[in-house]
Structure 1
Amino acid sequence: LISREISPEQVGLLNDMIQSLQRSRINGIEVALTVITTDKYVPDLALLVHKLVRMENLDALFAVAQMENKVYVIGRSRVPEVDVDAVLDELGGGGHPSAAAATIRGMTLPQVEQRLRDRLASAIRSNRLARDLMSSPPIIVAADATCAEAQSLLRRYNINALAVTENGAADSPLVGYITRQVVEKALYHGLEKVPVREYMSRDVVAVGPLADMKEIQEKIISHKQRILPVCDERQVLGVVTRTDLLNLLVRAPGTEIAENGDVLDGSFGARTRSIAKLMHERLPERLVRLLQTVGTVADEIGCNACVVGGFVRDLFLYRRNEDVDIVIEGDGIGFARRLAQIMGGRLHSHEKFGTAVVILPDGFKIDVASARMEYYQFPAALPTVEMSSIKMDLFRRDFTINTLAIQLNTARFGTLIDFFSALKDIKEKTIRVLHNLSFVEDPTRVFRAIRFEQRFGFTIGRLTASLIENAARMDFVKRLDGRRVFTELRLLLEEENPLALIRRLNDFDLLKVIHPKLTLTAELESAFENVKQVQTWHDLLFLEESYMKWAVYFMALMRPFDRETTETICRRFDLPPRLQRLLGTDRLTVERLLYRFERRLPEAPAALCRALEGLGIEQILLMMALAERTEVKRAISLYVTKLRFVRPAIGGADLKRLGIAPGPVYGKILDAVRDAKRNGQLASREDELTMAAELGRTATAGTSHGKGPHNAGAPGAVRPKETEPAP
């Protein structure tokens, strides 16, 4: 792109254009108009119009400028609904649908402005149709269902009105609709068992799938219907709600509608714009090609495909994320099967949930799911899943920042879809739930809110924070299955700075979920800070030694509790025996051993090694973090970095060549050599062989007298000097 400088006269004209800029909605489409006058001709008015479109992020702009004795009109459009060529054709101009111009003589500026406004009113027609705007599949109740059953559906799907058909099926005759207000009043009067048909609105009007915005708007307003069913000759296809229409009519400035092509069910009403260029800039090329292939396969089988969730969020946060989650409007498993065939991958599917994983030949995984909605039978329950549209699929997610989607179909590749102002929340660094019962339905979201807040440097929104406090106060988190709580806690402790997350748990009075008596003390904070320092130190050793970092923090968290209480906590979390041992018995072993070390360290390195050799790296790092004396930390550091790797340079073959008979004595001799080497008493392989030979002779002599190699006392033997018995 070449950036063209503008002259002082053009800067002044651009400022005038900004000052006179007016925005208005014409048939649901936002159009901007600026009218200016200048005494002399200023060149490159088209360049200024182009700059203004970009500066104000306008969908469509018409600039009317009187210069000398002529009136110039320039139009620019970034939406298919506004064909500027068709608009300016009547004024004697021309161009193409997205850029056109006209030069007019013999008319005053007000006359041109009025003719342009009249032309815009007749020329702009929304191409948004009912089939694009509707929510689908529709939520329907049978006419003979009870008011109590209708209330259950309204609550389950968090909607305010239900279409009513004769038998509750979409292909059954449409007979009316009923609102939440009517149902709740019926229940208030004790009419929960009365059929819906008794109180439904029978004078229901519907539209076909090809109804345009004007017809939809007229029907909803003139008939005062909360929902407008969309039907063909056979069935109810979906519904357009008053909220859908309102969202579309007041769509925020700066959003765009992509060019014509297949659109997602219910994606109108969302803020959309193309980010294909951004994807090429920030994603590896192989990943872009993969997403393009996904879109091509979706086109082939006739479905809409989006990449959603954290992948899209992290694209805007400049964070690397290659966890690709694809949502399909339609048969997700069928799509995944075809994708696996084309890419030579393997498929693992879960029919019950409509999900699948495609594993490519290089091991890369693609998660695929059919668009679905969830509802919860009771607080903290696992969700029940039903098929749905992309909008409902995104609505079931935890926070707005995770509701972004990018369409991948070829005609709309790279179109960002934002139903819930996710980009705004990302820009403002805010964690916000999608509805006020979010933490009641799934209390694990409490932990995720804290995790995302600290990971991204965001802030939990005021309302969301109050809802977390409510969930804690009402003990909804305590109703969770222990395994789910533990999974979330482990994820918290795997974050970069677990102490910050523990502090936030404490702020919301959520440490009681682990144990009622757990509180954040200065001692616990110090332990967490020391664990972080020790783990950072260990990581910088580049030992390529994997271990459970979270477990070190968890053991530190359990320090206030005795064995019995720890076992109770482990049982609540349903931990496997290995983890129960680590958090209980192994942790207490560390504390006992550390107590001894703080009083008196083993003087000989070999004795230190024998004390620590039975411990896992998690225990050793915890011990180092909790140690108070510098000498203890230094001794453990020496073991971690050097002593534990000290091994004899000789082996069994060398002992055999020395004439020592094979047997258990080999292990005893090599252990003694290793101890001496750790103690710095052996400098070379020859020293090791000399000591081994001496121990072998002692062992041979001791066999006839009932003594082992450590009992031998031959003069001149190289012996390890034991200054501290093994603990």
Structure 2
Amino acid sequence: MNLKSSLDKISIFQQVGTVADQLGMETYLVGGYVRDILLERPSKDIDFVCIGDGIRLAQAVSRSLENRPAVSVFKNFGTAMIRIDDWEVEFVGARKESYQTASRKPKVEAGTLQEDQERRDLTINTLGVAVNKENYGTLLDPFEGLKDLKRKVIRTPTDPNITFSDDPLRMLRAVRFAAQLKFDIAPDTFEGIIRNASRLSIISGERIIDELNKIIMTDKPSYGFKLLFVSGLLKEFFPEMVALQGVDSVGDKSHKDNFYHTLQVLDNLSARSDNLWLRWAAIMHDIAKPATKRFNQKAGWTFHGHEDKGARMTPGIFRRLKLPMDDRMKYVQKLVKLHLRPIALVNDEVTDAALRRLLFEAGDDVEDLMQLCRADVTSKNNHKVKRFLANFDKVEKKLQEVEAKDQVRNFQPPVSGDEIMTIFGLKPSRIVGDLKEEIKEAILDGQIQNNKNEALQLMYELAAKKGIEKKTNE
């Protein structure tokens, strides 16, 4: 690919070069944007390194532009950023770094371009392109990053032991780039990750989960998870998932490896959906199997109640991993709890009441639940897979029929607690909740229709049985 022609398509590169020349600053486009040009991948982050004051260069570039975009200055890091259309353009002076063992925050000093490239995490991120007029478009590649791009290899520019020990987050970035780009990690670089995996303990949970979510959102996330598992990184922050790995046997009875099953479910789902939280439901759906594993001489290995325990484990895991403790967590928790329910509805004798209950509990997430259930079919027996998927077709058809007839998805009981209290002159109490719950159950069981008149009639009947009289106006 012709780098110069690629740069010429976007005016900011020549603009920065012109301003840099006016200031007498040697300036380069560096890092991810150069990598992505060469890989023909989209990119929105543009980074410039100059020999000198990056903040001064950013301010001069802003003044040179017609609309004079605001400059965000980060003095502690010696960086500045301006937004130009959809681009985030960052400027920094070339620097060198030194680290203390207990922290990933470096001591930063002004440095040469070579020292700036040396401090970067991977060779494919060390590439630089000159933007000054004299050598515009010239590629600087001191660590053979271009060769690694062509070979599809992830490698550190210097000793991986030092690179990863200095900033352990780089280990997760190495795995993330391998997963995103479908590259291999060079043997010595992977050995460096294994040796330094325990150093991940000095990295904040927020940084870790940011990288993990990027791995989860790759085309085939199982690859990234396998690298995390084999390297020892996964057990540093997600031991519950590591506990899924392994197979126990008693006589001729064994269970499947639930770690690799989970990864297959995740891949199956990822082929159908780019919903991050649905992918998290796939990761979490069997998370409680180690805790619920039992051996029965007749039945073999069982995991009774793993869906309920997994749902109970979800908030604690989300909290520890610094994942959001909001409706997204509740969504994952709900899908974990319900993921076994649809297969139980395959039987031809299944009642409408059972279907109504699933629709009521799953609400608007019932389609996502069915996607998870389909992804959960991982047998190597193709005939068995086809049979299970055909069964889910039946369940979906039944659910659609019941929903069209009864409209119970996300329904609220036609009679509210406030109405019950007003009609009978009651204060907030258990009896009010009981009446409301019994009306809801009657609708789900199909005893009455989901409408106000039938709900009120049942309410009066239930109240009479409990000795509750309608309030009279005095």
TM-score range (shorter-chain normalised) is 0.5 to 0.7
Task: Kindly report which structure 2 residues correspond to 1:157-168, keeping only aligned pairs within 5 A, or say none.
Answer: none
Three-state SS of the structure 2 residue aligned to 1:577 is: coil
Shift of 1:414: 0.4
Aligned to 2:262: 527
- Write the distance in 1 (CA, Å) between the matches of 2:142 and 2:404: 57
Classify 1:308/1:427 alpha carbon distance in 2 versus 1 (closer, same or farther; 3 Å): same
The aligned amino acid for 1:577 is M
Three-state SS of the structure 1 residue aligned to 2:104 is: coil
Shift of 1:350: 1.3
- Write the distance in 2 (CA, Å) between the matches of 1:338 and 1:646: 67
Aligned to 1:466: 191
The aligned amino acid for 2:78 is G
The answer on whether the counterparts of 1:380 and 1:477 sit within 8 Å (CA) in structure 2 is: no
Aligned to 1:294: 16
Task: Kindly report which structure 2 residues correspond to 1:118-137, keeping only aligned pairs within 5 A, or say none.
Answer: none
Aligned to 2:45: 323
Three-state SS of the structure 1 residue aligned to 2:139 is: strand
Classify 1:582/1:279 alpha carbon distance in 2 versus 1 (closer, same or farther; 3 Å): farther
Shift of 1:512: 1.3
Which structure has greater strand proportion?
1
Aligned to 1:499: 222
Three-state SS of the structure 1 residue aligned to 2:92 is: strand
Deviations 1:652-684 (A, max 9, x none): xxxxxxxxxxxxxxxxxxxx9xx9xxx9xxxxx
Higher relative contact order (CA 8 A, sep 6+): 2
Task: Kindly report which structure 2 residues correspond to 1:172-183, keeping only aligned pairs within 5 A, or say none.
Answer: none
- Write the distance in 1 (CA, Å) between the matches of 2:361 and 2:88: 44
The answer on whether the counterparts of 2:34 and 2:128 sit within 8 Å (CA) in structure 1 is: yes
Task: State percent identity of aligned pairs.
Answer: 25
Gaps of 5+ in 1: 1-274, 540-545, 649-671, 680-690, 712-727
Task: Kindly report which structure 2 residues correspond to 1:59-74, keeping only aligned pairs within 5 A, or say none.
Answer: none
Match of 2:125 among 399, 402, 406: 402
Deviations 1:529-557 (A, max 9, x none): 33433443357xxxxxx654542343247
- Write the distance in 2 (CA, Å) between the matches of 1:645 and 1:310: 51
Classify 1:363/1:454 alpha carbon distance in 2 versus 1 (closer, same or farther; 3 Å): closer
Aligned to 1:386: 109
Q: Is the aligned partner of 1:554 residue 2:304?
A: no
The aligned amino acid for 1:481 is S
Which structure has greater helix proportion?
2
Shift of 1:619: 5.2
Three-state SS of the structure 2 residue aligned to 1:707 is: helix
Shift of 1:611: 3.5
The answer on whether the counterparts of 1:527 and 1:625 sit within 8 Å (CA) in structure 2 is: no
The answer on whether the counterparts of 1:312 and 1:406 sit within 8 Å (CA) in structure 2 is: yes
Classify 1:374/1:568 alpha carbon distance in 2 versus 1 (closer, same or farther; 3 Å): farther
Shift of 1:598: 6.6
The aligned amino acid for 1:552 is A
Shift of 1:594: 4.9
- Write the distance in 2 (CA, Å) between the matches of 1:556 and 1:385: 44
- Write the distance in 1 (CA, Å) between the matches of 2:211 and 2:398: 34
Aligned to 1:365: 88
- Write the distance in 2 (CA, Å) between the matches of 1:639 and 1:366: 53
The answer on whether the counterparts of 1:309 and 1:402 sit within 8 Å (CA) in structure 2 is: yes
Shift of 1:308: 0.7
Match of 2:457 among 690, 697, 707: 707
- Write the distance in 2 (CA, Å) between the matches of 1:368 and 1:583: 40
- Write the distance in 2 (CA, Å) between the matches of 1:346 and 1:646: 57
- Write the distance in 2 (CA, Å) between the matches of 1:456 and 1:538: 19
Three-state SS of the structure 1 residue aligned to 2:4 is: helix
- Write the distance in 2 (CA, Å) between the matches of 1:419 and 1:643: 66
Shift of 1:631: 5.4
- Write the distance in 1 (CA, Å) between the matches of 2:174 and 2:38: 19
The answer on whether the counterparts of 2:221 and 2:266 sit within 8 Å (CA) in structure 1 is: no
Three-state SS of the structure 1 residue aligned to 2:189 is: helix
Shift of 1:492: 1.3
Classify 1:537/1:587 alpha carbon distance in 2 versus 1 (closer, same or farther; 3 Å): closer
Classify 1:425/1:625 alpha carbon distance in 2 versus 1 (closer, same or farther; 3 Å): closer
Three-state SS of the structure 2 residue aligned to 1:373 is: strand
- Write the distance in 2 (CA, Å) between the matches of 1:569 and 1:430: 33
Match of 1:630 among 389, 395, 420: 389
Shift of 1:450: 2.2
Task: Kindly report which structure 2 residues correspond to 1:121-270, keeping only aligned pairs within 5 A, or say none.
Answer: none
The answer on whether the counterparts of 1:312 and 1:404 sit within 8 Å (CA) in structure 2 is: yes
The aligned amino acid for 1:626 is D
The answer on whether the counterparts of 2:58 and 2:71 sit within 8 Å (CA) in structure 1 is: yes
- Write the distance in 2 (CA, Å) between the matches of 1:557 and 1:480: 27
Three-state SS of the structure 2 residue aligned to 1:314 is: helix
- Write the distance in 1 (CA, Å) between the matches of 2:231 and 2:94: 34
Match of 2:320 among 555, 559, 572: 572
The aligned amino acid for 2:376 is L
The answer on whether the counterparts of 2:164 and 2:193 sit within 8 Å (CA) in structure 1 is: yes
Match of 2:73 among 327, 349, 353: 349
Shift of 1:636: 6.6
Match of 2:100 among 377, 380, 391: 377
The aligned amino acid for 1:526 is H
Deviations 1:502-544 (A, max 9, x none): 12222223331211752445333333333433443357xxxxx
The aligned amino acid for 2:265 is N
Classify 1:353/1:597 alpha carbon distance in 2 versus 1 (closer, same or farther; 3 Å): farther
Deviations 1:484-514 (A, max 9, x none): 2222221211111111121222222333121
Q: Is the aligned partner of 1:486 residue 2:236?
A: no
Aligned to 2:55: 333
- Write the distance in 1 (CA, Å) between the matches of 2:70 and 2:399: 42
Classify 1:645/1:533 alpha carbon distance in 2 versus 1 (closer, same or farther; 3 Å): farther
Q: Is the aligned partner of 1:305 residue 2:34?
A: no
Aligned residues: 380
Higher Rg: 1
Aligned to 2:297: none
Classify 1:547/1:478 alpha carbon distance in 2 versus 1 (closer, same or farther; 3 Å): closer
Aligned to 1:441: 166
Classify 1:398/1:527 alpha carbon distance in 2 versus 1 (closer, same or farther; 3 Å): same
Match of 1:421 among 144, 164, 168: 144
Gaps of 5+ in 2: 247-256, 292-308, 378-384, 408-439, 462-474
Task: Kindly report which structure 2 residues correspond to 1:537-548, keeping only aligned pairs within 5 A, or say none.
Answer: 537-538=272-273, 548=277
Classify 1:568/1:342 alpha carbon distance in 2 versus 1 (closer, same or farther; 3 Å): same
Classify 1:352/1:550 alpha carbon distance in 2 versus 1 (closer, same or farther; 3 Å): farther
Match of 1:581 among 321, 329, 336: 329
